[in-house]
């Protein structure tokens, strides 16, 4: 793993870092209430053109409401939604340059595949020739030409998903909303389709907003991820920053697996190689060190967040003494390519350490009840305060 | 355990059960072809009662009246009942929703005599001359709730995202309803119409209260005739009604059966595609090229 560098996202595409860029979509202090229940709580965010933007969160976090606000099925209680600088809060869904792919696909069962794709174009009052040309184009885009005259019920799940995609792309919307687009597909097909979606999005140069509760899916497809909880956005960042530099325990815990070590911040020091080192006093495992910038005062309560795959597990005490804890193997979760060791520490808490099974299982040197040392590079952890 | 499905007990009870249900109807059909004027004495085969039935203007008028009332009341009841069903299933929660829904369904359990009597009082109170329109209005009133029940049971399972998809693709709410919702729920609306039509054809009690001197429906005519003494013409008329109803029921069941078979065929087709799907490397490749012979 590379060192986390928050200022540099993985790809060159980063309009959100350029102050001169105007966002395609802007949520301005948007609140949505259903009676007493606040689904979206004073939310502000920007989505730029050509982004593949993920709304990620557990069910009930408001991600679907956010999408329905964009599509126009819901009207914000407070705040404004702008598209290219124009307020669309009061514009009905049929007048918005936005199309949506529904979770259930919502294909019209009484129409053929071609009629489904043509539906939006027909509403625009386009000529028959234009409509047919566009429908053919969309059918070939999703490789469904032989099925143009089939009814949706005559198609497999994967094919229906592509009809839904073709239908929502047919009108060339400024923004495409995808509500759990791959939720109904099986795992293998879902993984393939994720890549196909990204390729399609890049090829068409369109802006996609995807709602998902599947963090792997969000990590795979997104330019940026907005992690949501209880109607608020917890963090918006590129997948690598979300993973390597989460800003809260919630985000760290939601994306991937993580260990938290409770304690307090002590001080900052500069190492010989001129890197900043943050010193952290854990409650029961002594002083630990983490790299990186942080604005904290001494004795402030904090947590060290540590990804399992960044922890070394060994039977012998490692050479360097920083960041090293002793424990006993409590359990081993073997999933084929990796094994996760659940190690119990002296204070009774557990830490998960993950290893890639490069060797055959029978050559495993560490087993149940072994005394082991857990160690990690000072680059690995992140200090969090909330 | 091996249960003998064709034991003597089973065969006897089956025979008795069906005899109880169908012997009266069979007798009626047989006697409609009776030559004798006496209803219960067989005097040889004849179709003369059918021809005399078709020459009996009073019967023909009543039949025409019944059909007219049936078509008009079923149509209005279907429109109103569908609207009521839409409100009940779509309007979400509003104050008095339960009361409103309950009031729509109340006529289902209301004794017909009460419905008929109250409608009669209403027509008298507003001074409406009783006849075709009062019968029709009365029939709309009581069959509307059956329509609402049938249509709302379909709407409950209707995926509302279909309508949202139509809005999203540029429809107004009005055109989304006519282009998407209506075609999809059309079968249940047709079923509701048929139900309302049958109820109207069948009704004697409410029609008796709501009708006036100039308007007699077929059930009313039959009832009044029978009170004056059984005539073989009635047998002929009843036989015709039985045949019409049977044709209706058989057609409906054939249509349903066909729809089920078509659906099963579609599902098999879709499943076959899923299987083909699995053996292709990329979902954006053509299916057939990539598949090894003999399927997966």
**B159, B172, B263: residue with CB nearest A106:** B159
**Strand ranges across the sheet with A276-282:** A286-291, A276-282, A259-270, A301-306, A382-384
What pLDDT shows up at residue B291?
41
For residues A2-9, give the mean pLDDT. 42
Residues A212 and A182: their CA atoms lie apart, in Å, by 9
H/E run at residue A223: none
Other residues' Cβ atoms within 10 Å of the Cβ of residue B16: 10
**Strand ranges across the sheet with A78-83:** A37-47, A25-34, A78-83, A86-87
Please indicate whether, in this complex, the C-beta atoms of A119 and B273 are within 8 angstroms of each other: no
- The closest of A74, A120, A118, A76 to A97, measured between CA atoms, is A120
| Rounded alpha-carbon distances, angstroms, from residue B149 to A212, A257, A302, B119 | 37, 51, 60, 22
**Which residues in chain B touch residue A103, judged by CB atoms under 8 angstroms apart?**
161
Confidence of residue A1 (pLDDT cuts 50, 70, 90): very low
Share of chain A above pLDDT 70, in %: 96
Confidence of residue B80 (pLDDT cuts 50, 70, 90): very high
What pLDDT shows up at residue A182?
87
Residue among B92, B173, B179, B283 with most chain A CBs within 10 A, to mutate = B283
Q: Is the pLDDT of residue A31 over 50?
A: yes
Q: Is the pLDDT of residue A381 over 80?
A: yes
Share of chain A above pLDDT 90, in %: 33
b/e code B189-225 from CB counts within 10 Å (16+ = b): bebbbebbbbbbbebebbbbbbbeeebbbbbbbbeeb
Q: Is the pLDDT of residue B44 over 90?
A: no
| Rounded alpha-carbon distances, angstroms, from residue A258 to A302, A325, A338, B263 | 15, 16, 16, 48
Confidence of residue B165 (pLDDT cuts 50, 70, 90): very high
**Which residues in chain B touch residue A153, judged by CB atoms under 8 angstroms apart?**
263, 266-267, 270
Q: Do the Cβ atoms of A261 and A304 come closer than 8 Å?
A: yes
- The closest of A26, A1, A3, A2 to A236, measured between CA atoms, is A26
CATH of B48-229, one of 3.40.630.30, 1.20.120.420, 3.30.70.20, 1.10.3720.10: 1.10.3720.10
- The closest of A304, A284, A286 to A296, measured between CA atoms, is A304
Could you tell me which chain A residue has the CA closest to the CA of B181?
Answer: A108
**B162, B169, B282: residue with CB nearest A120:** B169
Q: Is the pLDDT of residue B20 over 90?
A: yes
Residues B71 and B75: their CA atoms lie apart, in Å, by 6
Per mean pLDDT, which of A186-190, A303-307, B163-167, B255-259 is the most reliable?
A: B163-167
What pLDDT shows up at residue A4?
42
Ordered DSSP codes for A92-143: -GGGSSEEEE-TT----TTS-HHHHHHHHHHHTT--HHHHHHHHHHHHHHTT
Helix axes A187-204, A157-169, angle to 10 degrees: 20
Strands annotated E in chain A: 25-34, 37-47, 52-56, 78-83, 86-87, 98-101, 175-179, 207-212, 224-229, 232-237, 259-270, 276-282, 286-291, 301-306, 312-314, 324-334, 338-345, 350-356, 371-375, 382-384
Confidence of residue B275 (pLDDT cuts 50, 70, 90): low
**A100, A123, A143: residue with CB nearest B284:** A143
**In this complex, is the C-beta atom of A174 within 8 Å of any C-beta atom belonging to chain B?**
no
For residues A255-274, give the mean pLDDT. 83
When mean pLDDT is compared across A249-253, A321-325, B105-109, the lowest value belongs to A321-325
Distance from CA of A59 to the nearest CA of B (A): 18
What fold is seen in the domain A257-384?
Answer: OB fold (Dihydrolipoamide Acetyltransferase, E2P) (2.40.50)
For residues B144-165, give the mean pLDDT. 90
Beta bridge partners of A27: A45, A81
What pLDDT shows up at residue B101?
81
Q: Do the Cβ atoms of B110 and B229 come closer than 8 Å?
A: no
What pLDDT shows up at residue B273?
67
For residues B28-43, give the mean pLDDT. 83
Residue among A96, A102, A106 with most chain B CBs within 10 A, to mutate = A106
Q: Do the Cβ atoms of B139 and B203 come closer than 8 Å?
A: yes
H/E run at residue A184: none
Q: What is the pLDDT of residues B198-229, one digit of tens each?
A: 889 888 999 999 888 778 888 888 888 888 87
**B171, B278, B285: residue with CB nearest A123:** B171
**Which residues in chain B touch residue A159, judged by CB atoms under 8 angstroms apart?**
273, 277
What pLDDT shows up at residue A385?
83
Q: Token pair of B150, please? A: 């049938």
**In this complex, is the C-beta atom of A116 within 8 Å of any C-beta atom belonging to chain B?**
no
Other residues' Cβ atoms within 10 Å of the Cβ of residue A166: 23
What pLDDT shows up at residue A281?
81
| Rounded alpha-carbon distances, angstroms, from residue B29 to A221, A382, B34, B242 | 73, 91, 9, 9
- The closest of A323, A305, A325, A307 to A385, measured between CA atoms, is A305
Residue among B92, B154, B159, B165 with most chain A CBs within 10 A, to mutate = B165
Please indicate whether, in this complex, the C-beta atoms of B162 and A108 are within 8 angstroms of each other: yes
State the pTM of this model: 0.78
Please indicate whether, in this complex, the C-beta atoms of A192 and B283 are within 8 angstroms of each other: yes
Share of chain B above pLDDT 90, in %: 26
Distance from CA of B268 to the nearest CA of A (A): 8
For residues A308-317, give the mean pLDDT. 86
State the burial class of residue A260 (Cβ atoms within 10 Å of its Cβ: 0-12, 13-18, 19+).
middle
Domain boundaries, chain A: 15-97+173-253, 257-384
Residues B221 and A285: their CA atoms lie apart, in Å, by 98
Q: Token pair of A211, please? A: 């709602």
- Using CA atoms of A81, A83, A88, A94 in order, give the dihedral in degrees to the nearest 10: -130
For residues A232-247, give the mean pLDDT. 91
Confidence of residue B283 (pLDDT cuts 50, 70, 90): very low
Beta bridge partners of A159: none
Confidence of residue A208 (pLDDT cuts 50, 70, 90): very high
Share of chain B above pLDDT 70, in %: 91
**B161, B263, B266: residue with CB nearest A102:** B161
Distance from CA of A23 to the nearest CA of B (A): 22
Other residues' Cβ atoms within 10 Å of the Cβ of residue A147: 22
Q: What is the mean pLDDT of chain A?
A: 86
State the burial class of residue B66 (Cβ atoms within 10 Å of its Cβ: 0-12, 13-18, 19+).
buried
Q: Token pair of B169, please? A: 């693709």
Which alpha helices (H) appear in A309-376, and where do they start and end? none
Beta bridge partners of A45: A27
Other residues' Cβ atoms within 10 Å of the Cβ of residue B145: 22
Please indicate whether, in this complex, the C-beta atoms of B267 and A153 are within 8 angstroms of each other: yes
Residues A8 and A244: their CA atoms lie apart, in Å, by 12
Q: Token pair of A223, please? A: 């330019």
For residues A224-247, give the mean pLDDT. 91
| Rounded alpha-carbon distances, angstroms, from residue B100 to A69, B96, B194, B230 | 31, 6, 25, 46
Homologous superfamily (CATH) of A15-97+173-253 is P-loop containing nucleotide triphosphate hydrolases (3.40.50.300)
Confidence of residue A386 (pLDDT cuts 50, 70, 90): confident
Distance from CA of B121 to the nearest CA of A (A): 45
Q: Residue A264 in 3-state DSSP? A: strand
Confidence of residue A59 (pLDDT cuts 50, 70, 90): confident
Please indicate whether, in this complex, the C-beta atoms of A155 and B270 are within 8 angstroms of each other: yes
Q: Is the pLDDT of residue A298 over 80?
A: no
**A100, A108, A143: residue with CB nearest B168:** A100
Residue among B169, B282, B296 with most chain A CBs within 10 A, to mutate = B169
List residues of B whose CB lies inside 8 A of any A CB. 159, 161-162, 164-172, 175, 179-180, 183-184, 263, 266-267, 269-271, 273-274, 277-278, 282-286
**Which residues in chain A touch residue B165, judged by CB atoms under 8 angstroms apart?**
100, 102, 106, 108, 167
Confidence of residue B247 (pLDDT cuts 50, 70, 90): confident
What pLDDT shows up at residue B276?
60
For residues B149-163, give the mean pLDDT. 89
Confidence of residue B15 (pLDDT cuts 50, 70, 90): very high
**A73, A154, A162: residue with CB nearest B269:** A154
Please indicate whether, in this complex, the C-beta atoms of B170 and A159 are within 8 angstroms of each other: no
- Between A369 and A243, name the one with better pLDDT: A243
Q: Is the pLDDT of residue A121 over 80?
A: yes
Q: What is the mean pLDDT of chain B?
A: 84
Could you tell me which chain A residue has the CA closest to the CA of B174?
Answer: A94
Strands annotated E in A190-282: 207-212, 224-229, 232-237, 259-270, 276-282
Q: Token pair of B84, please? A: 């009521």
Domain boundaries, chain B: 48-229, 230-296
Residues B92 and B229: their CA atoms lie apart, in Å, by 56
Max intra-chain CA distance, chain B: 82
For residues A224-243, give the mean pLDDT. 91
What pLDDT shows up at residue B3?
65
What pLDDT shows up at residue A164?
93
For residues B72-101, give the mean pLDDT. 87
Q: Is the pLDDT of residue B1 over 90?
A: no
What pLDDT shows up at residue B274?
66
Confidence of residue A8 (pLDDT cuts 50, 70, 90): very low
Confidence of residue A120 (pLDDT cuts 50, 70, 90): very high
Could you tell me which chain A residue has the CA closest to the CA of B273?
Answer: A156
Which alpha helices (H) appear in B126-231, and where do they start and end? 132-156, 161-168, 173-176, 182-202, 205-210, 218-227
What pLDDT shows up at residue A11?
55
Please indicate whether, in this complex, the C-beta atoms of A156 and B271 are within 8 angstroms of each other: yes
For residues A274-285, give the mean pLDDT. 81
Residue among A75, A91, A105, A108 with most chain B CBs within 10 A, to mutate = A108
Residues 6+ apart with CB under 8 A from B267: A153
């Amino acid at each position: 793993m590379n060192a986390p560098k928050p200022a540099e996202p993985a790809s060159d595409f980063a309009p959100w870092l350029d102050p001169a860029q105007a966002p395609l979509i802007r949520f301005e202090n948007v609140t949505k209430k259903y009676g007493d229940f606040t689904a979206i709580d004073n939310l502000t965010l920007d989505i730029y053109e050509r982004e593949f933007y993920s709304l990620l969160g557990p069910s009930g976090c408001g991600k679907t409401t956010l999408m329905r606000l964009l599509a126009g099925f819901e009207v914000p209680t407070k705040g404004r939604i702008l598209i290219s600088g124009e307020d669309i809060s009061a514009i009905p869904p049929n007048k918005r340059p936005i199309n949506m792919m529904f979770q259930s696909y919502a294909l019209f069962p009484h129409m053929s595949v071609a009629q489904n794709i043509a539906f939006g174009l027909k509403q625009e009052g386009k000529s028959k020739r234009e409509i047919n040309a566009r429908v053919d184009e969309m059918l070939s885009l999703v490789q469904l030409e032989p099925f143009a005259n089939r009814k949706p019920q005559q198609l497999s799940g994967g094919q229906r998903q592509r009809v839904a995609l073709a239908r929502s792309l047919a009108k060339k919307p400024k923004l495409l909303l995808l509500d759990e687009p791959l939720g109904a597909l099986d795992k293998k097909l879902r993984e393939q389709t994720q890549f196909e979606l990204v390729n399609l999005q890049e090829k068409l140069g369109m802006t996609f907003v995807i709602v998902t509760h599947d963090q792997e899916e969000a990590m795979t497809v997104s330019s940026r991820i907005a992690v949501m909880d209880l109607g608020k956005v917890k963090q918006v960042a590129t997948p690598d920053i979300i993973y390597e530099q989460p800003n809260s325990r919630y985000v760290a815990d939601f994306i991937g697996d993580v260990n938290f070590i409770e304690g307090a911040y002590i001080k900052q020091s500069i190492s010989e190689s001129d890197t900043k080192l943050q010193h952290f006093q854990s409650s029961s495992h002594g002083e630990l060190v983490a790299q990186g910038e942080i604005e904290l005062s001494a004795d402030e309560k904090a947590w060290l967040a540590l990804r399992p795959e960044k922890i070394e597990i060994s039977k012998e005490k490692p050479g360097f003494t920083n960041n090293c804890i002793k424990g006993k193997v409590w359990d081993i979760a073997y999933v084929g390519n990796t094994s996760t060791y659940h190690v119990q520490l002296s204070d009774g808490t557990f830490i998960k350490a993950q290893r890639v099974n490069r060797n055959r299982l029978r050559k495993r040197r560490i087993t149940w009840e072994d005394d082991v040392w857990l160690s990690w590079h000072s680059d690995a952890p992140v200090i969090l305060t909330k | 355990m091996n249960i003998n499905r064709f034991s003597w007990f089973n065969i006897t009870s089956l025979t008795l059960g069906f005899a109880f249900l169908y012997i009266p109807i069979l007798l009626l059909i047989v006697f409609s072809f009776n030559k004798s004027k006496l209803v219960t004495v067989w005097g040889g085969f004849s179709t003369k009662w059918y021809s005399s039935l078709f020459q009996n203007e009073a019967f023909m008028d009543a039949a025409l009246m019944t059909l007219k009332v049936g078509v008009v009341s079923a149509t209005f009841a279907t429109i109103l009942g569908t609207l009521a069903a839409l409100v009940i299933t779509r309007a979400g929660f509003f104050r008095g929703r339960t009361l409103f829904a309950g009031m729509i369904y109340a006529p289902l359990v209301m004794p017909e005599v009460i419905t008929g009597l109250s409608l009669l009082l209403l027509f008298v109170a507003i001074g409406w001359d009783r006849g075709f329109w009062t019968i029709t209005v009365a029939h709309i009133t009581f069959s509307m709730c059956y329509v609402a029940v049938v249509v709302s049971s379909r709407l409950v399972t209707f995926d509302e995202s279909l309508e949202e998809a139509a809005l999203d693709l540029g429809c107004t709410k009005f055109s989304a309803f006519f282009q998407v919702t209506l075609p999809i729920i059309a079968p249940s609306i047709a079923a509701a119409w048929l139900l309302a039509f049958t109820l109207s054809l069948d009704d004697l009690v409410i029609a008796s209260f709501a009708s006036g001197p100039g308007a007699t429906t077929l059930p009313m005519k039959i009832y009044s005739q029978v009170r004056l003494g059984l005539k073989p013409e009635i047998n002929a008329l009843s036989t015709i009604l039985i045949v019409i109803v049977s044709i209706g029921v058989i057609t409906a069941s054939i249509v349903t059966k066909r729809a089920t078979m078509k659906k099963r065929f579609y599902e098999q087709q879709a499943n076959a595609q899923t299987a083909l799907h699995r053996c292709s490397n990329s979902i954006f490749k053509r299916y057939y090229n990539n598949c090894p012979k003999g399927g997966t």
